[in-house]
Amino acid sequence: MKPKPAASGGFTLVEVLVVILIIGVLAAIALPAFVGQRDRAADTEAKTSARNVATAMETYSSDDQSYAGADIAKLTAIEPSLNDLGARLTIDYAQQKIYEVTVKSKRHSWAVRFHLTRNADGTTDRTCEVMGQRDGGCRNGKW
C-alpha cells in the first residue's frame, strides 16, 4: 500500500511575504491621507471658531454700534462655546468700527493662525499664516 501524501495546512513563505507587502503598500498610501485629514480638521475647527467670534462681535456691537470694549469675557458671555478656545483666541484690536481676531489651530498653535479682520467699510478679510507646516486650511495666506 502506498502512503498518502501529507496534507498542506499552512502558507508558504512566499505567500506570507506577498500579503505583508500588500499590507505595507496599503498602509503607505493610507497613512499620509489620514494625517492630512487630521490637520485639515483642526484648521476647519479654528476657522469655524473665528466665524463664531465674528458673530459674537456683531452681537456685542448691536447695542452701542461699536466694537470698542469687546473682550474675551464679554464675547464668551454671548457665545459660551468660545470658552473652549482658551489661549488660542486673541482679540488683536477692537475699535469703533473695526476689529481683528486671531484663532490658533489645535494642530500647531504656535505655527498655524487664522485672522478675521473687519474693515471700516464693512468688508471682512480672512487671512492666515502657516509657519513651517503643511498649509492645511490656509492657501496662499487666505482662507
Compute mean pLDDT per 10 residues along the chain, 143 residues long, and list them.
68 95 93 82 93 96 92 95 93 96 86 94 94 76 89
C-alpha torsion sign, points 138, 67, 122, 81 = positive
- Helices and strands in the chain: count of H runs, count of E runs: 2, 4
User: If you search the block for the grid coordinates 513651517, which residue do you land on?
Assistant: 132
| Under 8 Å between Cβ of 97 and 120 | yes
Spans of all domains in the chain: 17-130
pTM of the model: 0.75
For position 77, what pLDDT does the model report? 95
Fold of domain 17-130: Glycoprotein, Type 4 Pilin (3.30.700)
pLDDT at position 9: 76
What is the sign of the dihedral through the CA atoms of 58, 129, 106 and 46? Answer: positive
pLDDT at 98: 97
The answer to whether the beta carbons of residues 101 and 115 sit under 8 Å apart is yes
